[in-house]
Structure 1
Amino acid sequence: MSPLAAVAPDPTPDAPPESPARRFRRVRAHSARLAAPLSAEDAMVQSMPDASPAKWHLAHTTWFFERFILAARPGYRPFDADWDYLFNSYYQSVGPMHARPRRGMLSRPTLAQVQDYRAEIEARLLQRLDAGDLDDEALQRLELGLNHEQQHQELLLTDIKHALWCNPLWPAYRADLATVKGAASSLRWLAREECIATVGVPAWPAASAFAYDNESPAHRALVPAHALASRPVSNAEFREFVDDGGYREPGPWLSDGWAQLQTGGWQRPLYWQEDLEHAFTLGGVRPLDPHAPVAHLSYYEADAYARWAGARLPTETEWELAAAPLPVAGHFADDGRFEPQSAADTGGGAPLQLFGDVWEWTSSAYTAYPGYRPWQGSLGEYNGKFMCSQWVLRGGSCATPRGHVRASYRNFFPPDARWQFAGLRLARDA
């Protein structure tokens, strides 16, 4: 394994709690490792409005700590006042921001200047941490900022993958990434009787365990009898859909999905080559592992496949009910491979690969839980205002940092998004 792939592991459950300063250093160092293979030119590229340059990710995550922790103290002198405009993302209550589709135009500040910015803000924040100079609210914002940075670590990988794929040379992010292939596990159906389940979690920070505001409150939900597939859909299984004319026949497609297919010229999953045997990866073009979970599907593609297969996508409640009793274990970014992998069949009754490998589309629209309350102040813009025209994904991916997700974690994207490591698991009514 390349030294760049080495990541300080999360503390074991039996280890003493990690100090805020140590956790801050560890998370920030991981961002630097992910960016290390990129040239200044790589770090500036923005291949589409939905993606951001790596340089912007590095700066924005730093801005978050400066703006919401350091600048909360009266009299604070910013590193550069103009950067408050450049690196704000969508916090309207904080002030105006540079247009998202034009982030790739920011040749200045340079990558070196952004790295200096990161170092300076880290030094300022660590000085206050070491002095015990952060109150409870500031420490809560620190924890939020670290989870926010982990989200952007995943986006840095998925965004640079799309940017490099747009280059006719199809260059690798890292040519030394290991390829691991395994045998296919059989697909089984795991049935569950109708029940009333508690989903979601108590609101943080009232509850000690961190969770985003969209994961709360905990509430009861009626879950009809159903069955979930024991693993995600594989590349080989999805290829059967492609070979059967899945991208040529409108039958299994939602109307908006069929229109998007025609507009975008979709003929196969994003990054698959025309031969349906190879795919572009962060390690360059490589043979497609038929046994690994299919990835880079839009909601429309996942839904169409499920209909074609005589099944459906699970609801997010069904998914969480299956995941809640299980350990959060799987193939994550820390493994340093950045491609989904097949999993050995344990032969037990528990579903495989609910965590890691690929985010799993659900049939649930992204909306508020009963009794939802966004965080107070500007941080209330973090999740709630996006609860429109998006769909929920669960479980994390091979680009997600280990320790970042949990059974209640709700990711969300618009239904045409394809550049994330998103796949699907089938469900059906009992």
Structure 2
Amino acid sequence: MSIDDHFKHVRNHSLFLCRNLITEDFSLQASEEVSPPKWHLAHTTWFFEQFILIPHLKDYHVKHPQFNFLFNSYYNSLGNRTARNQRGLMTRPSVSEVMDYREYVNEAMETLISNGDSKVLDLVILGLNHEQQHQELLVTDLKFSLWHNPLDPSVMDIGEYLEINPSPWIEIEEGVYEIGYQGNGFCFDNELNLHKVYLNPYKISGALVSNLEFLQFMEAGGYENPVYWHDEGWSWVKSHQAKSPLYWEYKEGNWSYYTLFGRKDIVWEAPVSHVNFYEAAAFANWKGKRLPTEFEWEVAQKDFHWGSRWEWCNSAYLPYPGFKIAPGALGEYNGKFMVNQMVLRGSSVATPENHSRPTYRNFFHPHFRWQFMGIRLAESI
């Protein structure tokens, strides 16, 4: 696929995800952590405008001088911006104006792509991967916001809870292994540089933890016993009165959960989802196991199926040896978040096609759980 076709495909997919939304849905923001669909559509457009068109397309004129304030996410070096918890307060620009903004930038980008040099085209690929990240966020943010509606709206079916097959545990021998991206394709800077790590022998589960297994943890008093929890995790349990994964509801003797396809009875053999790091680690402790490190996950991943859940790893999000923050505003993309966050590996049912690889390093604070986050167990030998 040419870069021009790839650009059109990715940009159209963002709109495809919104095909069943009503106008009011586009400005919905239920908490500070999530953003409205309209903002995602505009921010990804702003990214192309700010980082590619302004510096590289001669005589380009920005669509509106205040869009930099409205649609900047976290790039401090680019000036003041809308507070994250106020993105849903912007009734204007309207949805139709945001769509016009996307078309305006698309036309300019297609002109630039047709004449772009290799440096520009590399930035285009980065912009497309950035938009794919926001496509997943659009889906998960929308789910969280719609969940608050007692009508249980149905807007899309992405196969959130498909059954998994039991798989044997996999043994990995001790040794020195290479970690990190190698190849000529795209990767984010946090996947570089290729380096060696020594691993003690270990076993890792071939299957993710299921809803039924997690229910057994709940019924065994998992949320009531502090011995399984990190101290911060136990504080989170008490302050949030947590008793189950996000979106689960027990009513009239039946468990169900909210999905983007409406409320459904729980599929017990599907992988558990929407658990945070504290919950994942507590479950592992209850089972007498542990979470794998991100290096153990990467070495073993070729021997198991992954892709339905982002999988919590017992690894802090830190730079690889030789990591350097890129100059300019784009240097704020990954490096400044390498503190107080945990790594997740794999991908999820909300991850766009062709936006995953074994070296991809996702990361979130340990209390977050609105992404499709799941659990794979490991143990030392």
1:374 shift after superposition: 2.1
2:91 matched to which residue of 1? 107
1:169 shift after superposition: 2.1
Alignment check: 8 A CA contact 1:164 1:173 kept: no
CA distance in 1 between counterparts of 2:288 and 2:158 reads 37
Alignment check: 8 A CA contact 2:158 2:349 kept: no
1:191 shift after superposition: 0.8
1:167 shift after superposition: 1.4
Structure 2 portions without partners, runs of 5+:
none
1:178 shift after superposition: 6.4
1:376 shift after superposition: 2.5
Match of 1:215 among 172, 183, 191: 191
1:287 matched to which residue of 2? 265
Show the 5 A alignment for 1:124-203. Answer: 124-130=108-114, 132=115, 134-174=116-156, 181-182=162-163, 185-202=165-182
CA distance in 2 between counterparts of 1:401 and 1:179 reads 14
Structure 1 portions without partners, runs of 5+:
1-17, 327-349
Are 1:428 and 2:379 matched, yes or no?
Answer: yes
Question: For 1:222-272, what per-residue CA distance to the aligned partner results, in whole angstroms no more than 9, with x for missing partners?
Answer: 011100001100011111001111111111011101111111121100011
Task: Label 1:45 to 1:152 Cα distance change in 2 as closer, same or farther (>3 A).
Answer: same
* SS of residue paired to 2:226: coil
The residue type paired with residue 266 of structure 2 is: L
| Percent identity for Structure 1 against Structure 2 | 44
1:120 shift after superposition: 1.0
Question: For 1:184-234, what per-residue CA distance to the aligned partner results, in whole angstroms no more than 9, with x for missing partners?
Answer: 5234221111010000125xxxx6311100001000000111000011000
1:301 shift after superposition: 0.3
Match of 2:102 among 118, 131, 143: 118
Alignment length (residue pairs): 378
Q: CA RMSD in A?
A: 1.5
CA distance in 2 between counterparts of 1:299 and 1:404 reads 23
1:82 shift after superposition: 0.7
CA distance in 2 between counterparts of 1:291 and 1:76 reads 54
CA distance in 2 between counterparts of 1:403 and 1:85 reads 31
Are 1:58 and 2:41 matched, yes or no?
Answer: yes
Instruction: Please give the TM-score of this superposition, normalised by the length of structure 2.
Output: 0.96
More helix by share: 2
CA distance in 2 between counterparts of 1:86 and 1:312 reads 43
CA distance in 1 between counterparts of 2:257 and 2:189 reads 37
1:6 matched to which residue of 2? none
Alignment check: 8 A CA contact 2:113 2:121 kept: no
CA distance in 1 between counterparts of 2:137 and 2:8 reads 20
The residue type paired with residue 111 of structure 2 is: Q
2:249 matched to which residue of 1? 273
1:311 matched to which residue of 2? 289
2:322 matched to which residue of 1? 371
The residue type paired with residue 31 of structure 2 is: M
* SS of residue paired to 1:150: helix
1:396 matched to which residue of 2? 347
1:121 shift after superposition: 0.6
CA distance in 1 between counterparts of 2:162 and 2:136 reads 22
1:341 matched to which residue of 2? none
CA distance in 2 between counterparts of 1:179 and 1:219 reads 35
User: Which shows bigger deviation, 186-195 or 52-61?
Assistant: 186-195
Instruction: Please give the TM-score of this superposition, normalised by the length of structure 1.
Output: 0.85
* SS of residue paired to 1:60: helix
Alignment check: 8 A CA contact 1:187 1:230 kept: yes
* SS of residue paired to 2:96: helix
